[in-house]
Structure 1
Amino acid sequence: MNVQELFNQAVSRSKTLTEKPGNDVLLQLYSLYKQATEGDVNVDPPANAFDFVGKAKFNAWEGLKGKSKETAMQEYIDLVDKLK
């Protein structure tokens, strides 16, 4: 199986986890998913100073700038495997 197929399976498995991960892990999953599917951050940061969730998501994704899509996919797969 190639990394794209394994990534797609990991995305499906992430939706059926028995326990909801903590916020830090959720941010990691989000940012790795975005980096794997869209590449480097391509949106503006949230304009609302009180959009703490939006800012956290933006910062997590921006922190992966320069990471290849394949590397982000593999890290996502590895993280989901740890959570199962």
Structure 2
Amino acid sequence: MYPENVDKEFMEAYKKASRTSQKFPPDIMLQFYAYYKQATEQEGIYTPSGEDDVRNAFKLNALLQVKGMSTKEAKQKYIELVNKHIPG
């Protein structure tokens, strides 16, 4: 996949995921979150915010699992995840 294709497919996958009304289990939601943040953050690791410490701990754990993954790889994984879980 060429870089411009990855970017285009990533944006299409993001739009598809944003429009879905499907409900996903928490582990799948965390994968969406981690791949998206790794693909889009420009300044290294993203620190979750919010007042729910337990939720932030799960988010941080998901982010640590993708730490070191390239932006391109994170975009590809995000695309694969969307295609797997959101038909059409």
Percent identity over the alignment? 37
Query: What stretches of structure 1 of length at least 5 have no aligned partner?
Result: none
CA distance in structure 2 between the partners assigned to 1:54 and 1:78 by the alignment: 25
> Which of 3, 10, 13 lines up with 1:10 in the alignment?
13
Q: What do you get for the CA RMSD once the two structures are aligned?
A: 2.0
Unaligned runs of 5+ in 2: none
Residue type matched to 1:41 in 2?
A: I
Does 1:73 find its partner at 2:62? no
Q: For residue 24 of structure 1, what is the aligned residue in structure 2? A: 27
SS at match of 1:2: helix
Change in Cα spacing, 1:27 to 1:42, as seen in structure 2 (3 Å) is closer
How many residues are paired up? 81
2:31 is the counterpart of 1:35: no
Where is the helix percentage greater, Structure 1 or Structure 2?
2
Equivalents in 2 of 1:32, 1:63: separation in Å? 10
> TM-score scaled to structure 2, two decimals?
0.80
Output the TM-score relative to the length of structure 1.
0.84
